[in-house]
Structure 1
Amino acid sequence: MSKQLKTLSPIDGSEYVVRDYATTAQIEATLARAAAAQKAWKRTPLEERMALCSRMVDAFVARKDEIALELCWQMGRPIRYAAGEVGGLEERARYMISAAAEALQPIQLPEKTGFSRYITREALGVVFVIAPWNFPYMTAVNAIIPAILAGNSVILKHSAQTPLCAERFAEAFAAAGLPEGVFQYLHLAHGDTQGLIQDERISHVCFTGSVPGGEMVERAAAGRFIGVGLELGGKDPAYVRADADLDHAVETTVDGAFFNSGQSCCGIERIYVHESLYERFVEQAVALVKAYKLGRSDDPDTTLGPVVRASAADFIRGQVSEAVAAGAVAHIDAADFPLDAPGSAYLAPQVLTNVNHGMRVMTEETFGPVVAIQKVSSDEEALALMNDSEFGLTASVFTRDIDAGVAIGEQLETGTFFINRCDYLDPALAWTGVKNSGRGCTLSSVGFEHLTRPKSFHLKTEI
């Protein structure tokens, strides 16, 4: 296979980044540095770790415009939205820094005469983070900052579509004064990625990506008895109840479906609407989607950029064509979006109705600018359909009756439940999934538990 990583920009298919893959010697040196550096880093006072991570965020945010432009060219997000990725990283990182002192504090047990008892949170060692291209900074930071705060060292392997993201992390940590070896990155081929997981110096793996990718990580880690965090995407549903604020529900779910060209693990891909609102919801949703401007990501007027590559666009087209052949109704004419063409990464948005769960578009992750809308007659029907999925990352209900919405949420098989919003990650809440959306947790105080191990101290103080 090629010894070079080549990133083709979805904007025009040009070669945007070329990097050599890491050699065996470079991989070995990186592992050795990470293992050695972690031994000293875990003894560094937490206050110093927090201050250093804060300086790293400052250094990163200072390059916001440059980073946004690179992101636009690497994975196709419209330039008008690209800087939001920097804001999202800052929000998550600063929250985790503020939460670290309490989350990593020893647990003191009730007094027991003659004994001192407490539980500490111990660093795991070297954490291997494998990050995706779709939200390349915000997904990676979920693991990187808390891992380093907890006293681990980190090796980052970023997507071949967004290799500059790994380099920008490294530059920001270097500017902040992080000791050498505590954070490093490697540009790796697939076989070398598996080999790294199997190395005895890797103590934990954080992976965000596809289900097949997660299966690879689990196979590579089998028998090593290390922690593996897997965030594997979703087929996230929304339910619009009869009492919902219709305008708000339409605006929020359409944005949740089409932001980032639908390339979000927690994006809305299927919407269930109560029959009393169904016709009006579809009419308003279609009108809103028709207002998107499909164009080059570096054009400030563009509101819908290309998907990441032409093959992804053709997969999505195939899913839509198959649904239409099975009876679905497509409400958007691709001719209204002239850049759309087979073999192109530019893809018209699509709204489908007359859909059912016999269609792949309702059960298989689409990861593109397509949303399917199905009519329902009751909460019970909506709940059954929402749970009828191999995924369970997020789910949303739109309603004015919060108690009724919570009652539905308590029965949904999902990692995060929303009422009257969607497609948002609050860093104070645990980010987790069920079923094929993965396992483990990042963010919140709970996220630190997955990047540390408990160690119990049982001291007899009176003899």
Structure 2
Amino acid sequence: MTEIQKTISPIDGSVYAERALASREQIDAAFAMAKQAQAGWCSTPLEERKALCSRAVEAFVANKAVIAEELCWQMGRPIRYAANEVRSFADRARYMISIADDALAPVQTSDKPGFIRYIKREPVGTVLVIAPWNYPLHTPINSIIPALLAGNTVILKHSAQTPLCAERIVEAFEQAGVPEGVFQYLHMSHAGVEDAIQSGQIDFIAFTGSVAVGARIEQLAAGRFIGVGLELGGKDPSYIRADADLDYAVENTVDGAFFNSGQSCCGIERIYVHTSVYEPYVEQFVDLVRQYRLGRSDDPETTLGPLVNARAAAFVRDQVNQAVAQGAVAHVDPSNFPLDRVDTPYMAPQVLTEVNHGMRVMTEETFGPVVGIMKVDSDAQAVALMNDSVYGLTASVFTRDIETAVTLGRQIETGTFFVNRCDYLDPELAWTGVKNTGRGCTLSKLGFNAFTRPKSFHIKIVS
């Protein structure tokens, strides 16, 4: 019997999409097709692979309005912001295409008379990309483009919340002329994914999601000698030094904490503020947060949409309620946001002070429109608190003293360190994390490495 996957829209609780989940036979056939297609694809000249990927990006962007509306309804991104992810999808893809020649070029050795020696970058084979719902276009393209350019075949498995994103991405590549089997999507159950990982048909897994699922994927892949890239949880901190430009810091950290309703891997979830500027910072921060408009994602006036589902909102509310019970002070009255209702995905933003690291809201990933703000007396105290986490994706410092900021950055355990900005991904820089945030790297020239293996050529010239 065919199993049906239903996508429930957070906007109104309606069934927005229904898709049949792939059977074991369909999954095996897709991977067999990918394996068969890979030999021809990797022998296709890089210039042709680049040209095809470029055409696919243009086809995708041409469908921007439809994709933005679908994104809005599937995961709740306000429609006024939804098209931005299509644009940044294209920006990342175009950048990775532009550096492919350099990133995939053979590594040359020193001259040695009578020998030709170099290291070629070979594709790993078939790549499974498992994508999340919160940034369903951004995240998979970070792996899809370098994997395809390197000569791999790719199978995309998207979140059950955003299945249409997988279809739209593959559709654009099909319009561009991708050969059959080179790039496919599969709607799979969790059991189907587990079976696929253990089938021996996958050569690399690129996963973005929770720590628990990332750990499970590592277990399933163990002993198969395949690569695994894992971008997992985060609890990203920001530090406001005494010399920071407060207006600028407030504007940027509010956006960094509440954009996408706080459902960002690298969104700010905890803020440390020097005692000398703590009071004015908190006052300005709260004033700006109160200006958000909570509403339906399809309303162009909405600036804060619903969370992905009622269960996620209940988790965030529980963190807030527990923190308040432990002595935290809540600065935003939910009654000023009429759509805020328990048992729904609609939740007002919240700012908490008088928090500490004995509270879940300061140590456990929140993934919602809530931030805790703590007062600190020194740089050393701020760094110690920022490092007091099992996660390490990004961290930011706001200050006019760049030299001191860089010194602090060397001490902070993180994958990306920002000064005077936050919640941003630059495709020219490696996207990576430490601790429970996972392992591996996407974007930049380094982002091609996971999708290739080195093959050494050692040629002796005999006269």
CA distance in 2, matches of 1:314, 1:436: 24
CA distance in 2, matches of 1:158, 1:426: 23
User: What residue in structure 1 maps to residue 311 of structure 2?
Assistant: 311
CA distance in 2, matches of 1:332, 1:303: 16
User: What residue in structure 2 maps to residue 113 of structure 1?
Assistant: 113
CA distance in 2, matches of 1:240, 1:34: 50
Q: Secondary structure at the match of 1:7?
A: strand
User: What residue in structure 2 maps to residue 248 of structure 1?
Assistant: 248
Output aligned runs, 1:283-432, within 5 Å: 283-432=283-432
- CA drift of 1:153 comes to 0.2
Report if the CA contact (8 A) 2:2-2:20 is conserved: no
Output aligned runs, 1:3-402, within 5 Å: 3-402=3-402
**Deviations for 1:400-447, whole angstroms, at most 9, x for unmatched residues?**
000000000001100000000000000010000000000000010001
CA distance in 1, matches of 2:236, 2:367: 11
CA distance in 2, matches of 1:44, 1:233: 37
Q: Secondary structure at the match of 2:294?
A: coil
Residue 231 of structure 2 aligns to which amino acid in structure 1? Answer: E
CA distance in 1, matches of 2:222, 2:119: 28
TM, length-normalised to structure 1: 0.99
CA distance in 1, matches of 2:21, 2:2: 9
- CA drift of 1:350 comes to 0.2
Report if the CA contact (8 A) 1:77-1:297 is conserved: yes
- CA drift of 1:201 comes to 1.8
CA distance in 1, matches of 2:375, 2:260: 26
- CA drift of 1:156 comes to 0.5
Report if the CA contact (8 A) 1:115-1:462 is conserved: no
Gaps of 5+ in 2: none
Report if the CA contact (8 A) 1:274-1:378 is conserved: yes
**Deviations for 1:214-257, whole angstroms, at most 9, x for unmatched residues?**
01111110110100000002000000000100001000000000
Report if the CA contact (8 A) 1:68-1:82 is conserved: yes
- CA drift of 1:462 comes to 3.1
Report if the CA contact (8 A) 1:38-1:182 is conserved: yes
- CA drift of 1:198 comes to 1.3
CA distance in 1, matches of 2:115, 2:145: 35
Q: Secondary structure at the match of 1:18?
A: strand
Gaps of 5+ in 1: none
**Deviations for 1:376-414, whole angstroms, at most 9, x for unmatched residues?**
000000000000000000000000000000000001100
**Deviations for 1:281-334, whole angstroms, at most 9, x for unmatched residues?**
000000000000000000000000000000000000000000000000000001
User: What residue in structure 1 maps to residue 443 of structure 2?
Assistant: 443
Residue 228 of structure 1 aligns to which amino acid in structure 2? Answer: V
Q: Secondary structure at the match of 1:47?
A: helix
Report if the CA contact (8 A) 1:294-1:304 is conserved: yes
Q: Secondary structure at the match of 1:191?
A: helix
- CA drift of 1:22 comes to 0.3
- CA drift of 1:2 comes to 7.8
Report if the CA contact (8 A) 1:9-1:76 is conserved: yes
Report if the CA contact (8 A) 1:428-1:443 is conserved: yes
- CA drift of 1:126 comes to 0.2
Q: Secondary structure at the match of 1:53?
A: helix
Report if the CA contact (8 A) 1:256-1:422 is conserved: yes
Residue 207 of structure 1 aligns to which amino acid in structure 2? Answer: F
Report if the CA contact (8 A) 1:313-1:345 is conserved: yes
Structure 1 moving runs of 4+ over 6 Å:
none
Report if the CA contact (8 A) 1:132-1:209 is conserved: yes
CA distance in 2, matches of 1:83, 1:422: 21
Report if the CA contact (8 A) 2:392-2:415 is conserved: yes
Residue 124 of structure 1 aligns to which amino acid in structure 2? Answer: V
RMSD over aligned Cα, in angstroms?
0.8
CA distance in 1, matches of 2:462, 2:436: 52
CA distance in 1, matches of 2:375, 2:254: 16
CA distance in 2, matches of 1:147, 1:15: 33
CA distance in 1, matches of 2:179, 2:357: 53
Q: Secondary structure at the match of 2:264?
A: coil
**Deviations for 1:324-365, whole angstroms, at most 9, x for unmatched residues?**
000000000010011111101000000000000000000000
Range with bigger deviation, 289-298 or 188-197: 188-197
CA distance in 1, matches of 2:76, 2:233: 19
CA distance in 1, matches of 2:196, 2:441: 22
How many aligned positions are there? 463
Residue 387 of structure 1 aligns to which amino acid in structure 2? Answer: N
Report if the CA contact (8 A) 1:240-1:249 is conserved: yes
- CA drift of 1:170 comes to 1.2
**Deviations for 1:192-216, whole angstroms, at most 9, x for unmatched residues?**
1011111212000000000011011
Residue 333 of structure 1 aligns to which amino acid in structure 2? Answer: D
TM, length-normalised to structure 2: 0.99
Q: Secondary structure at the match of 1:273?
A: strand
Residue 408 of structure 2 aligns to which amino acid in structure 1? Answer: I
User: Sequence identity of aligned pairs in percent?
Assistant: 68
CA distance in 2, matches of 1:122, 1:198: 23
